[in-house]
Structure 1
Amino acid sequence: MTETTPAHSLDHLVLPTANLDTARARLVSLGFVVAPTGIHPFGTANCCVFLGDGTYLEPLAVGDAQAAARATATGNVFVARDRAYRDRCGNEGFSAMVLSTGNADADHARYVEAGLSAGDMLSFSRAFADTAGKSDMASFKLAFASGTGATDAFLFACERINAPKVDRTALQTHANGATGIIEVVAVSDGPSEQRRLFAVAADTEKGAAFRLPNASLTLLEPAAFATRFGLPAGAPSELRFAGLVFSVRSTDTVAKLLAANCVAHDIDGNDIVVRPAPGQGAVFIFREIP
């Protein structure tokens, strides 16, 4: 198996949900601290889970349907891809993997040259608040990539133009002991073309496995996914993000917390596996890392 070391790190993961209250309740039951609701200027909203390694989850809902429709009509790729995902896959899921970058313009140019651009770049700002209510303005520039026929998933590079000057310590201290995301799992019926997409997005050579500076990306065929997790891979798809692995301090702590909160889970060796549920659009795996 060939491993590569790309320049781009995992930044965050986008998980569509029908509404943020459901996502918040589910994530809290899993032992996460959930940030206050963030409002985008184009109709979507989120309630993020920030982790100590700098990565985060972005549960995403449509907060203002009219604003989202206007954004889609004017070429906002982020909102348009969210709409397309919901139309095909439903309101609960895992639609995008986001890579950090210091130059989104260069990433966009690379996507265009490779024939993998998903559309125009997007720049925007939104308010951010910590658990104490201190707020600041966050600004981003995004460049989008998508593989041929891959309507169920996309990737984008995220350049943070202005990072909020707020203390995230309380937001990163989770009852389940989660400290980071160490693996993202995707499923594909035609993995060869999707490996090219990942290679271009991560700015690395194409290989059978991808190791980002802070996480790994695993691309499985449906049968291999079912064997690994004991779960069906779902409807046929060119590409679908399906699971993620968290590093935790103690799986015993996670198991006790899940049991106390009546969250069904399976123990598979050193992993605790939690199946998708409303507000949790992917398989969550908790792995003890010494």
Structure 2
Amino acid sequence: MNRTTAAGTHPLDHLVLPTQNLDVARARLTALGFVVAPTGIHPFGTENCCVFLADGTYLEPLAVGDEQAATAAIAEGNVFVARDRIYRNRHGDEGFSAVVLGTSNADADQARYVEAGISAGNMLSFSRAFTDTAGKSDIASFKLAFASESKATDAFLFACERVNAPKVDRAALHAHANSATGIVEIVAVSDRPAEQHRLISLAVGDPAAGAQGGAFHLPNATLSVLAPGSFTTRFGLPACAPTDLRFAAVVFSVRSADITSRLLAANSVKHDIAGNDIVVQPASGQGAAFIFREIQ
């Protein structure tokens, strides 16, 4: 993946998908044809079961494993856990709360966010164990800088610097039965799409981003902000409740739409066709609409 410095347009790194129960999320993602990594435990009460893609991006289904530790982390100013709590209090335990951007200098991003008045709070540095499908473990370390607007409480963005990348073989984690290879687009819904341009362009590190009709072209994906009607027209899905900004859908690239549709049918996963897209509505353990698109 093309990972830039804080001075350039940041690539997509991963997506945060709150869920109530990792076992439910794991079962749902497996039914969708994804390989799901072993559970990862954060030192502040949350836990995940990630889906890693060959293009370097990943999904982070996130649950609260230790409520007491999470509450203590919030009291200590942990923005990641605090924003997760805000999201769950407003929308329940299933959803899509954050888009995460790759950076090689989270400190510089934090300085930009503070200067622009979009910082969501203190930076966060932490490490956790990472285990691959063969049981090999290493330590993953991260440094995060958070961005949000005061009105956009349904979503936030943050820059993630991978201070230490685990030295493990992820090849088996990329071998998804649905033939998914990456993320090509993230779709957000807003009642006022144009008002989100400043936040997103500053968060991704490109003041000129979003000049093309609300499509923010990152080095490895597109982040689109649509009005509710446009979202429904494009995907045939109902838009969410009124919101300044909420992430609603993920578009995956797949090698074969036929493989994807056959797998979904075999696993009794309801899906619809919208043009060249295979559309799966959100469900427990899958907090966003998943759209599969064949890209050769």
TM-score in same-fold range (> 0.5): yes
User: Which residue pairs with 2:282 in the alignment?
Assistant: 276
User: Which residue pairs with 1:73 in the alignment?
Assistant: 75
User: Which residue pairs with 1:229 in the alignment?
Assistant: 235
CA deviations over 1:191-250 (Å, ceiling 9, x no partner): 222111110011112423211000001000111111111111111011000001000010
C-alpha separation between the residues in 1 aligned to 2:122 and 2:150?
Answer: 17
User: Which residue pairs with 1:86 in the alignment?
Assistant: 88
CA deviations over 1:111-161 (Å, ceiling 9, x no partner): 111110000000000000000000000000000000230001000000011
TM-score by length of 1: 0.97
C-alpha separation between the residues in 1 aligned to 2:24 and 2:193?
Answer: 33
Aligned with 2:163 (options 147, 161, 164): 161
- CA positional deviation for 1:267: 1.2
C-alpha separation between the residues in 2 aligned to 1:127 and 1:157?
Answer: 21
Does the Cα contact within 8 Å between 1:147 and 1:193 map onto a contact in 2? no
Question: Residue 226 of structure 1: SS of its match in structure 2?
Answer: helix
Question: Residue 56 of structure 2: SS of its match in structure 1?
Answer: coil
Question: Residue 141 of structure 2: SS of its match in structure 1?
Answer: strand
Question: Residue 286 of structure 1: SS of its match in structure 2?
Answer: strand
C-alpha separation between the residues in 1 aligned to 2:195 and 2:68?
Answer: 35
Give 5+ residue unaligned stretches, structure 2. 1-7
C-alpha separation between the residues in 1 aligned to 2:239 and 2:25?
Answer: 22
C-alpha separation between the residues in 2 aligned to 1:99 and 1:118?
Answer: 15
CA deviations over 1:159-213 (Å, ceiling 9, x no partner): 0110000000000110000000000000111222211111001111242321100
C-alpha separation between the residues in 1 aligned to 2:9 and 2:118?
Answer: 18
Aligned with 1:245 (options 225, 244, 251): 251
Aligned with 1:35 (options 24, 33, 37): 37
Q: Count residues in correspondence.
A: 285
Does the Cα contact within 8 Å between 1:139 and 1:162 map onto a contact in 2? yes
How much identity, in percent, do the aligned residues show? 74
Question: Residue 191 of structure 2: SS of its match in structure 1?
Answer: coil
User: Which residue pairs with 2:97 in the alignment?
Assistant: 95
Give 5+ residue unaligned stretches, structure 1. 1-5
- CA positional deviation for 1:268: 1.6
AA partner of residue 27 (structure 1): L
C-alpha separation between the residues in 2 aligned to 1:188 and 1:147?
Answer: 13
User: Which residue pairs with 2:4 in the alignment?
Assistant: none
C-alpha separation between the residues in 2 aligned to 1:56 and 1:274?
Answer: 18
Question: Residue 166 of structure 1: SS of its match in structure 2?
Answer: coil
AA partner of residue 209 (structure 1): A
Aligned with 1:186 (options 174, 185, 188): 188
Task: Indicate the RMSD between aligned Cα atoms, in angstroms.
Answer: 0.8
After the TM superposition, which parts of structure 1 deviate over 3 Å for at least 4 consecutive aligned residues? none
TM-score by length of 2: 0.95
